[in-house]
Structure 1
Amino acid sequence: MLKKELEEKDYLRLLLPQGLLEFFKVTSASLKDYAYQIYLEELNIHPEHLQGSRLTSKGFYDEVSIEDFPLRSKACFLNI
């Protein structure tokens, strides 16, 4: 199972912008209305330089949709 998850993440790294999977995880993906819709959830990761510091979460912003480069001749939207 772990090997399968690693392989899937490696494939996603080829398609998504560089570094995105360091801070987000893909929760779902679908093809709707001739466009790919990829949903990402932000991981609750403290910046490395602030490790050990006391941080207070102010929550997350509302979801935004970003149009990325086309994938296989279809529009691609990243919903973050």
Structure 2
Amino acid sequence: MQDAERKLLSLLLPEGLLEYFDIIEVIQRDKQLHIHLDEKNIVSSGYENIKLESKGFMPSAEISDFPIRGQKVTLHVRRRRWTVIDTGKIITRDWNLVRQGARMTTEFGIFLKGIFG
């Protein structure tokens, strides 16, 4: 992705999203914008020295975000999961801080849905 495109997208999407997620698909229909995102295959901190294997994704979560140019926006986010090769344990990134931000975005999205119907 070129710098200008990345900068524009970073201004339209929640802050920091492009650091951890790739945009997989964008679907526009009926004044709605659906943006599908997959977590990048970047090992979570604390696991850098452990052998991990990416094992796909958790089920998609839908988050309502701020409208873009009069269109309701839904982010379809798939979190990645890894298997610790030595133990078989499944791990995911700790998103506690990200979730707190997502909750605020979701609450504001619900508020905006009430305004725009």
Return the offset for 1:59: 4.5
Larger Cα-atom Rg: 2
Which of 48, 51, 56 does residue 48 from structure 2 map onto?
A: 51
- The answer to whether the aligner puts 1:34 opposite 2:27 as a matched pair is no
- Give SS of 1:51's match: coil
For 1:31 and 1:57, the matched residues in 2 are separated by 30
Paired residues in the alignment total 77
Give the partner amino acid of 1:66.
Answer: I
For 2:61 and 2:15, the matched residues in 1 are separated by 19
Using the size of structure 2 for normalisation, the TM-score is 0.57
Using the size of structure 1 for normalisation, the TM-score is 0.78
Where do 5+ consecutive residues of structure 1 fail to align?
Answer: none
For 1:57 and 1:41, the matched residues in 2 are separated by 13
Q: Which digits, 9 at most, give the CA deviation of each residue in 1:4-50, with x for residues without a partner?
A: 62221111100000111111011121311211111111111113443
Where do 5+ consecutive residues of structure 2 fail to align?
Answer: 78-117
CA RMSD of aligned residues (A): 1.9
Return the offset for 1:57: 5.0
Return the offset for 1:76: 0.4
Give the % identical residues.
36
